[in-house]
Amino acid sequence: MASVFFATLMIKGYPLSLDRANDVIQDIGRHGEVTPLSWHRLRHTWSEQWADRLLSHPNGNDILQYLGGWTNPHSPDHYIQHTVARQAAELVRAYQQTLYAEEKEP
């Protein structure tokens, strides 16, 4: 897949309208074969990745709240819980694989 670079330049320096910004992200999604792509979906991806990085940090939830721009301290909870659930599933899967590996050994 070829890399595509988008530059959004306005002749007079005005910001893009929401409709045009949505057109741009949809074009990026089509060219990158990631559909449907939206700004909201990018925010979720960003939040999940930062939740993963900040999970073991002493005040990771507070940092995620700040970086995400949320005023409600419980807003990042969904992303933290998703990360915990994913890591738990990975640990269980790895443990189960060791059990099956032991059974196969003569």
Q: Give pLDDT < 50 ranges for the chain.
A: 1-7
Q: What angle do CA 91, 46, 22 make, to 5 degrees?
A: 140
For residues 60 and 99, state if they share a domain. yes
For residues 1 and 32, state if they share a domain. yes
Q: Name the residue range of residue 4's domain.
A: 1-37
pLDDT value at residue 34: 82
Per DSSP, 57 falls in state S
For residues 59 and 33, state if they share a domain. no
For residues 28 and 69, state if they share a domain. no
For residues 33 and 58, state if they share a domain. no
For residues 60 and 91, state if they share a domain. yes
- State which amino acid sits at residue 55: L
Query: Which 3 state secondary structure label does DSSP give 98?
Result: helix
For residues 28 and 51, state if they share a domain. no
pLDDT value at residue 57: 93
Structure pTM?
0.67
